[in-house]
Structure formats: C-alpha cells, structure tokens
Structure 1
Amino acid sequence: MKWGFFVTKQYRAGQFVKVKVTNVRPYGAFVKTVDGVDGLIHISQVMDDFVQNIHHYLSKGQIVKCKIISVNDRDGKLNLTLKENEYFKRKSKKKKERSILDIIEETEEYGFESLRERLPIWIKEAKVQMYDC
C-alpha cells in the first residue's frame, strides 16, 4: 500500500486544499485534487446549517477550497469539509430558517376572512417555501 502511504505523507488532516467537484450525489460531492487524489465532501460537511439539497451549493466542475478532515489509510482518499470555507460560512450565516407562520404574520392583514378561503393559499405558499430550501 505504498500509494496510501504516499498520500498520507502528502496530505494531512487540517490542511486546506483546492479540489474540483467530479460528481454530486444526494449524500455528498465527489472531488479530485490537482494531482488526482479522490475525496468526498459529505452533505453534513457543507455548512453548519441543515442542507436539504446539496445541488443548491455544489455542482460538477466547480472548484472549491476544502479542509481535510482525515485521510483514509487504506486507499488514500480524502474526507473533506467546507465548514471552514469563508464563502460557505457567510452563506450559512445568511440562511435564515423561517416558518410559514412568520411569513403569514408579516404579509396577512387580520380581519374576518374565513380560514377555509385562506388555508389553500397558505398550504401552497408553504409547499413553495419547502421546495425552495
């Protein structure tokens, strides 16, 4: 397993490295370093907030700066995180979880309008908001 030893010597936990996204799956993004070492950015390592759809943050061909969490001793593959990437940190801070009730309170005028008339509209707005996340 000289290859694994070589990679372990070249790459180490805590090091920052630029990688190119080669494939995006629902659970994470496969990446490759300039010298051809494979790695994975698990969906939980994109940002501190919950990421429902990784495609909103990463796409094939994108180049990102990651921090190495660990290097697999057997195959030399990298386990990476974007949580310390400044761009994703800012994006995480800007993302604000709001419930549909907050939006209703901001946009609705209170009156005698029947719940039966408004409920289908609120449900539609909630579904739109859920799929935009």
Structure 2
Amino acid sequence: MDVTKKYRKNQFVKVKVTGIQPYGAFVRTPDNQEGLIHISEVMNDYVHNVSQYLSKGQIVKAKVLSVGPDGKLNLTLKENEYFKNEEKKKDKRSIIEQIKDSEEYGFESLRQKMPQWIQEAKMRMQDK
C-alpha cells in the first residue's frame, strides 16, 4: 500500500515520540511510518524547549499537516486537547512559576525576561 495514500491531511493519528531535537520531536506511527512535530507545532504559544512538553516514548494524538513524497508525516499538536489545556494553564501562571521553569537563574536572565513580562502584563490588562 502506498503510504502517501494511507495518511492524509487533517487526519488524527496516535504517534510515539522516538527522539527529541532542539527543533522538534521525531515520531513513529504504530505501522512504523516516521514523522516530525516541529517545535512551532507543539502549541500556539512560544515553545523554548520541546522537552518541557514531550518525552521519548510518550504517545500522543497528533494531526497530519502534510505527507511528504517520501511518506514522512508533518504533524501538529495544536488541536490536541491536552496541549490546548496546557497552553491555557501557562497563561494563568504567575511570574514566579514561570521563573521556576526557566533554565537560567540570576539577574542577567531576569533582565532579559523583563520586556517579555511587561508585554504579557499589558496584554492581560487589555483582556480585562
């Protein structure tokens, strides 16, 4: 069977994470078809580190964005309910919780994050 016909755009598939790279997660379907969830497709929000959301061996439900000529799948998690909920939780976290998630600590990292925090606070005030 031609793999490019087995999987189609907008189809949901369960995939197992086989590897994590700085740019995304490599995955495999139960029938051993390989695919990639690019870092920009984990959630709508900025993702600094794929490992915060996915780990090797994890099974997730992903949506097919496209199927390459070689049959490789390009997938997204943006319509996965679990990751949508994680995104909503992330919006509601305090600055202290966000600092705890940071990989760096100290005054330099605070200085670097301050413009982002100010922007987020302004956006929250506009929403109210």
TM-score range, shorter chain: 0.7 to 0.9
Question: Once the two structures are superposed, what CA deviation does each residue of 1:25-58 show, in whole Å capped at 9, x if it has no partner?
Answer: 0100000000000000000000000000110000
- Matching of residues 6-25 of structure 1 within 5 Å: 6-25=2-21
Equivalent residue of 1:95, what SS? helix
Alignment coverage as a number of residue pairs: 104
Q: Which amino acid aligns with 1:39?
A: G
Which residue is 1:79 aligned to? 74
Shift of 1:124: 7.2
Equivalent residue of 1:23, what SS? strand
| Larger CA Rg, structure 1 vs 2 | 1
Question: Once the two structures are superposed, what CA deviation does each residue of 1:34-91 show, in whole Å capped at 9, x if it has no partner?
Answer: 0000000000000000000110000100000000000002x10000000000000011
RMSD: 2.7
Q: Please, which of 63, 66, 78 is the counterpart of residue 67 of structure 1?
A: 63
Q: Which amino acid aligns with 1:27?
A: Y
Question: Once the two structures are superposed, what CA deviation does each residue of 1:4-27 show, in whole Å capped at 9, x if it has no partner?
Answer: xx1111100000000000000010
Unpaired segments of 5 or more residues in structure 1?
A: 104-121
Shift of 1:126: 2.6
Return the TM-score normalized by structure 1.
Answer: 0.70
2:118 matched to 1:123? no
Provide runs of 4+ in structure 1 moved above 3 Å: 97-100
Return the TM-score normalized by structure 2.
Answer: 0.73
Question: Once the two structures are superposed, what CA deviation does each residue of 1:68-118 show, in whole Å capped at 9, x if it has no partner?
Answer: 000002x10000000000000011111127668xx9xxxxxxxxxxxxxxx
**Cα distance in structure 2, aligned partners of 1:50 and 1:29:** 15
2:33 matched to 1:37? yes
Unpaired segments of 5 or more residues in structure 2?
A: 100-105, 115-128
